[in-house]
Chain A
């Protein structure tokens, strides 16, 4: 995450970015407190916050601890983040990086609401936002590097079982 944090105006938003309690929290070691905004549980609002912050010149990194939770953000993702450039004829092109993971099934199985992989479904719904599923640890850095370089938005799905 330090690679992302080093980008100009990078800011992390989500649950467990400033308060301990989810597995992804530890990955933010070294990221300054001023770059973290702990949010209430507002998945849809969170996605749109990313759009607005991006239009204001920030690089929002939205953290969703499980991909299952992103279904609650589907409108802001599919109807807005993904379509804003098209609707505005390229006037507004938000760039948001979304970090999420597919929950593991072993050694603990978190059950049907915390282990779903929706990559294929989102790929079918999205026309401009890229879904990048990574399955091996060595793919992590290239995936986030590519997300930084892209003009548009990327969902990086960590599915390392």
Chain B
């Protein structure tokens, strides 16, 4: 839990935008939409310091809300690492590949579950494992994906395995109804995506292009 507000998140984005337009960032930056700020602040009220966050290429606000200091996030962005911000101390990972963090998140959660099983009384270890076996001190793995990632085959494998094995995973689907610029639902036709799993959704409207800003930067 951090003290970030809508205003502080927006101010950070403005700082990055200024650096971007000033040609200080020589790699792609995926800016968050203004409409993401409120839902993200709400979601991160549940994310604890000992939890892991596995994010994606649009992760600057996730990183701030996870507790990575603003200067550290800004430094990594200036170094061209906006698409894969990382912090071991803050248990934060990201990937610029669609769904790229899903398998790693699964492995982190398997490790957490195994750690818990090893600490159960011997007579309980062979029994079926349910979510209530986890304790408050056990980390959870939070996974942030877009709406197209959610429709991929890899996501379905990930969701099936993590739900089927009761892994300590929370999936947040951040939907702008777009995959880059394509309309996600239209590309799949009329398929109902209603599989079970530990998912929550929020929808937002994009306020910047998929990558960069509406202004061309000539280096």
Determine if B103 and A76 form an interchain contact, defined as CB atoms under 8 angstroms apart: yes
The residue of chain A having its C-beta at the shortest distance from the C-beta of B87 within the complex is A91
B32 in contact (CB, < 8 A): no
Q: Is the CB of B161 within 8 A of A80?
A: no
Distance (whole angstroms) from the CB of A37 to the closest CB of chain B: 8
Q: How large is the interface on B (under 10, 10 to 19, 20 to 34, 35 or more residues)?
A: 20 to 34
Contact, CB under 8 Å: A55 / B108: yes
Given A80-B104, A88-B86, does the pair A56, B112 have CB atoms closer than 8 Å? yes
**Is B58's CB within 8 Å of the partner chain A?**
no
Nearest Cβ on chain B to A153's Cβ, whole angstroms: 13
Q: Is the interface of A mostly helix, strand, loop or mixed?
A: helix
The closest CB in chain B to the CB of A34 belongs to: B125
The smallest C-beta distance from B111 to any residue of chain A, in angstroms, reads: 3
Q: What total count of A-B pairs have CB within 8 Å?
A: 89
- B127 at interface, CB cutoff 8 A: no
Q: Is B56 an interface residue (CB 8 A)?
A: no
Q: Considering the complex, which residues of chain A in the window 37-71 have a beta carbon less than 8 Å from any beta carbon of chain B?
A: 37, 40, 42, 44-58, 60
Residues of A participating in the B interface, judged by any CB pair closer than 8 Å: 11, 37, 40, 42, 44-58, 60, 75-76, 79-80, 87-89, 91-92
Task: Apart from A55-B107, A56-B114, list 18 A-B contacts with CB within 8 A.
Answer: A11-B114, A40-B161, A42-B157, A48-B102, A48-B104, A51-B104, A51-B107, A52-B107, A52-B108, A53-B108, A53-B110, A54-B107, A55-B108, A55-B111, A88-B84, A88-B88, A88-B93, A89-B86
